[in-house]
Structure 1
């Protein structure tokens, strides 16, 4: 008669893994990593201990990963590709957490959004007939103010909804400039790179940009500040990319500079394209 594996039978015979049935030689299965089951695992005290351990384990990994991400550009990606993965967060997991922080702490004035006035007045947006489209939707000043309020709110929210698309776009720069055996290596590098970018703009936005707009310009758009802050950020990002590429790709100084310039230009083009696509999406929903 065939016997099915159950919790009770596993407790009686502790040599079998509850998940895959392999023979256990220690507290953890060497095949699937499942922990040896004990009755005290169901105790309330053990449940509380595991819950606290799970939170602190996440905190430890996150802060260790962020510290390494900031202080040693490119090393997280290099370690991950070499197989050193246990001490730190995996690329997409770190990106996902950084994305959540960015979404929660940064409001409408974020890197990926642009107010309606910019689409009405500034190049390159006006090259896509954004001004004419806005005039059709809001022909009077009063209507423009109403539409601008709705548009800016939607832009602030929706601009952070599709950020994952920038990961493969950033990887294109690495593909064009550096040689690696696997495409996934470029994606891993760009994922960590984009996680740093989100952390950097989370700090700049929450500590500098948002207070500036709140206390000094009362929520109005300041094109001068936007230009200065953008140029400063690009310089910092370019320097960070240079050192990250030197470490990860083992690239020369010249090739690292070229990679930095190519990637920043590519990201800038994609950023404006992203904003323009969001403009058409949002203005269409308002116009309808």
Structure 2
């Protein structure tokens, strides 16, 4: 016992009243409830014989300092997860928070001409406000090189693309359309067929977004235009037609051309692609989740 404590009549000793003493509760007074309780120092209160009081159950409670008090069997109290419960002193290590902060970025996204990533980019900015997204325009000619050459982390590409070393998931298909001069006889129909194009000069630009076989089509007597925009400009001059995905017809629309859907024509598929070694990258995985429609709190699936 601490010095200055005198025994009462009957041989019992009163606990000291100093703060933090062996029997100290609040303001140095012993606690009054029945169970074994810890004082501010995490030590059990003294019973009549100077021994720690036993709680109603055989399991003790943790003191404020994080040290477990001893029960009747001397066993420390287990926390909810089977580990000693941590008090204010932090004796047990705190578990890390679920989910680590994403890398600072930026996330570099490539996008083929005509792709529409706007809604996914908006969602990215909502969920990842501190991680910038850099959008890089791509052409069919350079879409694969941008990925394997690490110029971008992932890209919206137009199929077909050589899948070697890449992960590729199909996103959506685009309707093929026939672009013709505004005064062409082809504009009389709301929809065209392959048979309607017999005898027409069908222009295909270099690295054409669509490969379409038109029986009985006339062969152009000039070199293929470099781009879709150049091909549409040629059509606007009254020479031939060009078949492209609808998004490109809209992108390069001008007053002197019209376009009509091509029934039974081949669809153009837009896909998301990333490098094999990019699998597991937190920014790539975050964008994949957005594209696949996962919510911010949903697990990967």
Larger radius of gyration: 2
**What TM-score comes out, normalization by structure 1 length?**
0.20
Q: Which has the higher strand share?
A: 2
**What TM-score comes out, normalization by structure 2 length?**
0.20
- Ranked by relative contact order (alpha carbons within 8 Å, sequence separation 6 or more), the top structure is 1
